[in-house]
Amino acid sequence: MLDRISRNLLRALQADSRLTLQELAERVGLSPTPCWRRIKALEQSGILRRYTVLLDRHQLELGFCALATVSLTRHVADSVERFEAAMQRAAEVVECYRVTGDGDYAIKVLVADARAYDLFLHEKIFKLGVVASMRSNIALREVKYETALPV
């Protein structure tokens, strides 16, 4: 279990991972050395996985967001591995989950437009030969998008 200081440290890093060690230490009420030790411990434990930057997808012409449910033809290891490997390789797929319910997988796909989505479907989904059906929902408006976890 994380203590209050570690949680505050994680919140501060999620809000701005470019803060200096001194700024982080001040925000969580520590001196720099103990703050650095906590950060290293969080990295080594795997809680702190990596530092990254968030981009504006609309400015990068990735304004078309599809949330799709995918059902596989068969539930055998080869089909599952083939599909999951393809999703790992597909840059357009920014999230992929094995799910319960109507489908086997839920994926989030970001592309420029409907034409690019159609190309994605034909080149990266239908050619796999393991997809039985796919149901797409197109996002009309992003109501909430957060990357920070509620710690």
> CATH topology for 64-138?
Alpha-Beta Plaits (3.30.70)
d(CA 57, CA 65): 10
Question: Which CATH entry fits the domain spanning 4-45: 1.10.10.10, 1.10.540.10, 1.10.8.80, 1.20.140.10?
Answer: 1.10.10.10
Burial of 124 (0-12, 13-18, 19+ CB in 10 A): middle
Integer Cα distance of 22 and 2 in angstroms? 21
| Domain ranges (residues) in the chain | 4-45, 64-138
Question: E strands, the chain, where?
Answer: 64-72, 93-98, 105-111, 131-138
Query: Are 35 and 24 in contact, with CB atoms under 8 Å apart?
Result: yes
pLDDT digit string, tens, across residues 6-57:
999 999 999 999 999 999 999 999 999 999 999 999 999 999 999 999 999 9
Task: Identify residue 135 by its one-letter amino acid code.
Answer: R
pTM for this predicted structure: 0.89
